[in-house]
Chains A and B, each alone.
Chain A
């Protein structure tokens, strides 16, 4: 399986917050005091249980600390090793699960500051996603405005499982702010655990939870389309991260089919949903859950109807592949190149403004 090409743009890597202590210097005095008093040591969640094989590859899992917990580890394990051009850091920390929106906003500010100071300042190849305190739309917008001028932040980040479907209109100020600043909305696998992680209730096993993320992605995508987010914000891009990709054609065919007969209910959806997806939606391609042979994968890409939809991602340090085989070998060399360069640049316009 191929290594990434030198200079590739890796659209999903995960720096780990070593623990609440690491955030302390980046919190306001008030929130630092609150955290200190409460003794809250960490905010890991069941989205990525620390010991699960998926959470970190064994060779990326040190004994004494979390994987990907500092920029040196990331350099050795990916950036230098593969000659990565740019890597987009998506911090997964349980801030979205808190019920206190003030605390969530305080911690998100600290988390984003930590990302800027401990990662983006330390390696010019790194870019970041602004983690939003999704508990509050107003505070999410504040967070976007706070970081918008730092062009190293190239995206805003939400989880696929939140309080309400993401298309619902009370969320729209977030999309307005993101569109205004040229920031795609990244929707990452994971839940705030406000609802069961599947539409039919809680599952028993992590395997089920992880695989069923795709149902949440399907629901969110249909919500964004049907509520008219892309009609209202024609410049908005949405990136589905760690979503899996093979469900997309089937789900959007389904939506296209029923839209033909139910169009009048959502008249702002004035063209077939698949067209909207091709213009507005991108997906990171690690994990790649598509067909296992190049021929069948080629057929899948025909079903996608565009070679612009997939973005290269290693998903470091999650265990999606072994060795340096970050680019699944079913992908043709031409597509692989597009996914590593053209497609990310077309998606993340800010990458042009911060050429390093």
Chain B
């Protein structure tokens, strides 16, 4: 059974920024990319760099030497330690996508008046009906413990 956690006010993570939250003792990085929220474990799968300290950038690709395409601005996080790029949508690293993958979590935004569901764990604050909140879905404890 997965669990859902209200972890921040949406307004705490404005467009283009990130925020570290701690849920069940785990550090999680929240990102806002043009109003869309993403969440990863705040620990790079390579050696453990904090994604919250990294640079949010876009995807640089090329079909031919000297020709660059730059898309998906903000959807790539570069680890601050060794500069590897991770795709916030999939968690996959750009240089070795099948080998190195950051842990990602499902994240949604809910209005305060939709948060009456008692299964929600309210992490740190009372909910006001007029605000938007970031809701994180974490997988069940058993699979979590294997991380």
Interface residues of A (CB under 8 A from B): 169, 227-229, 231-232, 259-264, 267-268, 270, 272
Interface residues in B41-97 (C-beta closer than 8 Å to A)? 57, 60-68, 82-85, 93-96
Q: How many residues of B contact A (CB 8 A)?
A: 18
A218 to B85, alpha carbons, bound, how many Å?
Answer: 26
Q: Which residues of A contact B66 (CB under 8 A)?
A: 169, 228, 268
Q: Does A268 contact B82, Cβ atoms closer than 8 Å? A: no
Which residue of A has the minimal Cβ distance to B68?
A267
Please judge, given known A-B contacts A259-B95, A272-B95, whether A264 and B60 are in contact too, CB under 8 Å: yes
A259 to B66, alpha carbons, bound, how many Å?
Answer: 17
Q: Is the interface of B mostly helix, strand, loop or mixed?
A: strand
Interface residues of B (CB under 8 A from A): 57, 60-68, 82-85, 93-96
Which residue of A has the minimal Cβ distance to B83?
A261
Q: Which residues of A contact B84 (CB under 8 A)?
A: 260-261
6 contacts between A and B (CB under 8 A): A227-B65, A231-B65, A260-B84, A263-B85, A267-B61, A270-B61
Please judge, given known A-B contacts A261-B82, A261-B84, A262-B83, whether A232 and B95 are in contact too, CB under 8 Å: no
Given contacts A169-B65, A228-B65, A264-B85, 5 further A-B contacts (CB under 8 A): A229-B65, A231-B64, A231-B65, A260-B82, A260-B95
Q: Does A263 contact B94, Cβ atoms closer than 8 Å? A: yes
A228 to B63, alpha carbons, bound, how many Å?
Answer: 10
Q: Is the interface of A mostly helix, strand, loop or mixed?
A: helix
A227 to B64, alpha carbons, bound, how many Å?
Answer: 10
A267 to B60, alpha carbons, bound, how many Å?
Answer: 6
Q: Which residues of A contact B61 (CB under 8 A)?
A: 267, 270
Q: Which residues of A contact B65 (CB under 8 A)?
A: 169, 227-229, 231-232, 268
**Pairs of residues from A and B, 6 with the lowest C-beta to C-beta distance, nearest first:** A228-B65, A261-B83, A267-B62, A264-B60, A260-B95, A268-B62
